[in-house]
Amino acid sequence: MMTQSPEKNRKQIEFLCVDDLVPEDHLLRQIENAIDWSFIYDLVKERYSLEKGRPSIDPVTLIKIPLIQYMYGIPSMRKTIQEIEVNVAYRWFLGLTFQDPVPHFSTFGKNYVRRFESTDLFEQIFMHILEECNRYGLVDTTNIFVDATHVKARANRNKFEDKPFEKEALFYEKQLREEIDKDREKHGKKPLKEKDNSDDDDDGPGNVETRKTSTNDPDSGWFHKGEHKQVFAYSVETACDKNGWVLGYTVSPGNEHDSRTFKGLYDKLIKFGPERIIADAGYKVPAIAKLLLDDGVIPVFPYKRPMTKAEFFPKYEYVYDEFNDCYICPENKILDYKTTNREGYKEYKSRPWHCANCPNLHKCTENKDHVKTVTRHIWEPYMEICEDIRHTKGMRELYQLRKETIERNFGTAKEFHGMRYTQLVGKPRMEMKVGLTFACMNLKKLVRTLKHLGITPIKNTRKTRVVAA
């Protein structure tokens, strides 16, 4: 028979311990056992005063609130605070009792603006957690996988302005210019003159172009890929090892090409001393190949289809003669060197009288003067080395691991951690979101790996500090 009254149980008064209400195998309990969060006090002590102001919210509690949000993919801070109010595990993780008031949803945002903006606090938190993972010997930086994904910005695609934008200098521009001048001098040509800034075709600094800029979030960039819907987005460039541990990240506007933003990420990765860097075809450019090979890092790139019309001869049909510095076409005619342009490409051109009566002219060029032009970058030897590496035994299998590592991380971040889009405005806030999201992913991976291996977490204990406002 039914004798129990739900209403009676709802109003029951009991003596309870919050710790007893959180299961032993709960994710947050495992994370708390693995990480000593007192390291945050050292990172933020310069942002607080011990003598002035009212007592502040504990900095560790303050940082843990967005960690909960990104750990569980909660869409907004307002919703996160609502969940903390009723979730016992969240309260336990923050160190709150049932009677403690939960901070207002605007609290973190105000502290971010007043204390943490324009700092590298969140990147330091990410790096500290990565060091904790490495302390167990779980991170292997021999092979590093690099790729970028796009995160939709909080910006209306219909609200934009066409604004002038000054192009940034490429990271290799100075070196490229020097080698262009040397190559031109070698061929008996004068150095290139300084180009007028009004010319929009140059990629150098000081040149201005018009770009579509969002009025909601000017830091984002107009992004479209293939048949994808055109939106304002951010590009998140990320690196991980073969086990999926996130090693570094950068954030840039969605309209920046991967090859232009790679240097910022690479500067963070070089300290790990990688033997190989595996990246997709977007990174297969002469400048990146030279950068990696000069540093003793082996680049692993995929096959890149020739960018020629289907009915035309692909570039590999034109054989380069290194001794005579010329190209030989499929009809065994010579294409002589003519010049080296501003982009670092040496131009080789055929002789019109050879091409005029060629039976394969329709497969070669549509030039009205019957002149075929083949270009070769001055750093093309580095690209040829990359091609040799690609054909080395084991490199194909290594490249295939991308779908199990970096691409899997992107899928996990978007599906479970709310990184498909962002509710935050501005690049600095986006960097905070990305840093904490990847920190959460490494934390989840850490506790689950330790549990799988049967390893008991050992904290790096620190002395607890009291911080005032």
- Taking the CA atoms of residue 140, residue 143, residue 149 and residue 151 in that order, the dihedral angle to the nearest 10 degrees is 20
Q: Which helix (H) or strand (E) holds 443?
A: helix 427-453
Q: How far apart are CA 230 and CA 208, in angstroms?
A: 23
What 3-state DSSP class applies to 320? strand
- For residue 187, give every residue at least 6 positions away whose Cβ sits within 8 Å of its Cβ, in sequence order, or none: 337, 339, 340
Q: pLDDT band at residue 4, thresholds of 50, 70 and 90?
A: low
Q: How far apart are CA 380 and CA 317, in angstroms?
A: 16
Q: Do residues 317 and 330 touch, judged by C-beta distance below 8 A?
A: yes
Which percentage of the chain shows pLDDT scores above 70?
93
Q: pLDDT band at residue 3, thresholds of 50, 70 and 90?
A: low
* Three-class HEC string of 326-392: EEECCCCCEEEEEEECCCCEEEEECCHHHHCCCCCHHHHCCCCCCCCEEEEECCHHHHHHHHHHHCC
| Phi, psi for residue 400 in degrees, rounded to 5 | -65, -20
DSSP letter at 456?
P
Range picked from 35-49, 196-210, 277-291 for highest mean pLDDT: 277-291
Q: Do residues 378 and 360 touch, judged by C-beta distance below 8 A?
A: no
Give yes or no for residue 467 having a pLDDT over 60. no
Least confident residue range of 100-109, 141-150, 161-170, 198-207: 198-207
Q: pLDDT band at residue 461, thresholds of 50, 70 and 90?
A: low
- DSSP letters, 187-226, are TT-PPPPPPPTT-TT--STT-EEEEEEESS-TTSEEE--T
Q: What is the mean pLDDT of residues 431-449?
A: 94
Q: Do residues 109 and 72 touch, judged by C-beta distance below 8 A?
A: no
Q: How far apart are CA 371 and CA 374, in angstroms?
A: 10
Burial class, 227, CB count within 10 angstroms (exposed 0-12 / middle 13-18 / buried 19+): exposed
Q: How far apart are CA 278 and CA 84, in angstroms?
A: 41
Q: Which helix (H) or strand (E) holds 234?
A: strand 231-240
Alpha helices for 116-197 (secondary structure H): 121-135, 173-186
Q: How far apart are CA 306 and CA 312, in angstroms?
A: 10
Q: How far is CA 340 from the centre of its chain?
A: 33
Quick: pLDDT tens for 370-426. Answer: 899 999 999 999 999 999 999 999 999 999 999 999 999 999 999 999 999 999 999
Which of 135, 222, 219 lies closest to 433, judged by CA? 219
DSSP letter at 168?
P
Residue for token digits 């504990």?
Answer: 58
DSSP letter at 116?
I
- For residue 83, give every residue at least 6 positions away whose Cβ sits within 8 Å of its Cβ, in sequence order, or none: 68, 72, 74, 90
DSSP letter at 112?
I
Residue for token digits 């001055």?
Answer: 378
What 3-state DSSP class applies to 153? coil
Q: What is the mean pLDDT of residues 233-249?
A: 94
- For residue 59, give every residue at least 6 positions away whose Cβ sits within 8 Å of its Cβ, in sequence order, or none: 40, 41, 44, 48, 467
pLDDT at residue 453, rounded to an integer? 85
Burial class, 177, CB count within 10 angstroms (exposed 0-12 / middle 13-18 / buried 19+): middle
246 pairs with which residues across the strands?
A: 240
Q: Which helix (H) or strand (E) holds 94?
A: helix 88-94
Give yes or no for residue 278 having a pLDDT over 80. yes
